[in-house]
Structures are given as C-alpha cells and as structure tokens.
C-alpha cells in the first residue's frame, strides 16, 4: 500500500465512530472512553460552562452522541422528546442506564423522565437559553410547558456512582 493510501485510510478510520471512543461532532460513536468517575455526583454545577455533553446509551451495544444538556439547581438534564431523526432517544426510553462524559471523565447515570410540571418549568429557561430559542412573552411569565408549547421530554440524569 502506498504512503498516500495509508494516510487516507488512517484519516478515514480516525472518523469512524467505533474507533474514537465516542462521538465525533455530529457523528454518533460507540462506547465512551475516559477516566471513570469515582463516587456519586450530587451537584453537576461543575459542568455548567460547557455547551455539550457526550451521552452513551444502550450499554449492551453502546451508542453515543454529543448533545445539549442543562444544569438546574445542581441537577443534570437532557431533552429526549420524540424526534424522527434521533436514534438515541428510543434507546434511552428502552433502557435508562446511561453514561455521560465531561472533560475526559465518564460518569454512570440513570435517566429519569421528568413528569412534574414544576420541574419541567424550572428546566425550560435553560433549555431555551442553551438552544438559542426565543420563548414567547407569555411563556416567560411562569414557564408553563403548555403556554410555552413545549412538546419535548426532559430526563434528569441521576448519578449511579
């Protein structure tokens, strides 16, 4: 094999998700690679400055993506509502055991669907802020999910450490 072909092969393989230890930008990956976190996390505020998290679902055949997340009152949330284009969401619904990676550390979590309207209302401002959506004035009054026309589903990612 020529040097040029070898270089091309290495470049292609470097973008292959299963080889990279997780997702590569918008391309899904496999099992997250990183230092295992030690102990339970009770306050996720350390992660607040970041825009995205790497999320791994389906532990038996790991599938990972890079997505927005939200930290509210020290709790970690992701939005995982119905989305025709998303493969990871149905995997999370089927099995809530997941892992997240921040700054090279991998944290085991359990996804818990948020159904209490008050908790959804606490997360909505961060959702709109991070996703750069502009809520209506009526929505901003009390962040009622119905008034905001929010059709998604938030999941709180509780530490399993």
pLDDT in tens, 51-100: 899 999 998 999 999 999 999 999 999 998 777 778 899 999 999 999 99
Token pair for residue 53?
């998290």
The more confidently predicted of residues 69 and 8 is 69
147 versus 14: the higher-pLDDT residue is: 147
User: Domain map of the chain by residue range?
Assistant: 3-159
- Whole-number Å distance between alpha carbons of 37 and 42: 13
Residue 46 reports pLDDT greater than 70: yes
Query: Region 129-157: what's the mean pLDDT?
Result: 90
Q: Which CATH architecture has domain 3-159?
A: Roll (2.30)
- What average pLDDT does the chain have? 87
> Residue with structure tokens 């991070």?
130
- CB within 8 Å of 90: residues ≥ 6 apart: none
Give the residue carrying structure tokens 């809530």: 96
pLDDT number for residue 38: 86
């Amino acid at each position: 094999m020529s040097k040029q072909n070898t270089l091309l092969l290495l470049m292609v393989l470097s973008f292959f998700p299963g080889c990279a230890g997780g997702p590569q930008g918008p391309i899904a990956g496999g099992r997250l690679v990183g230092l295992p976190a030690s102990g339970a996390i009770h306050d996720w505020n350390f992660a607040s400055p970041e825009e995205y998290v790497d999320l791994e679902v389906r532990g038996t055949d790991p599938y990972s993506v890079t997505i927005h997340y939200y930290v509210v009152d020290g709790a970690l949330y992701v939005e995982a509502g119905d989305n025709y284009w998303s493969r990871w969401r149905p995997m999370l619904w089927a099995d809530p055991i997941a892992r997240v990676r921040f700054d090279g550390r991998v944290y085991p979590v359990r996804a818990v669907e948020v159904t209490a309207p008050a908790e959804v209302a606490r997360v909505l401002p961060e959702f709109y802020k991070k996703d750069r959506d502009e809520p209506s004035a009526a929505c901003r009054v009390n962040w009622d999910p119905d008034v905001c026309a929010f059709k998604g589903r938030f999941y709180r990612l509780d530490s399993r450490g």
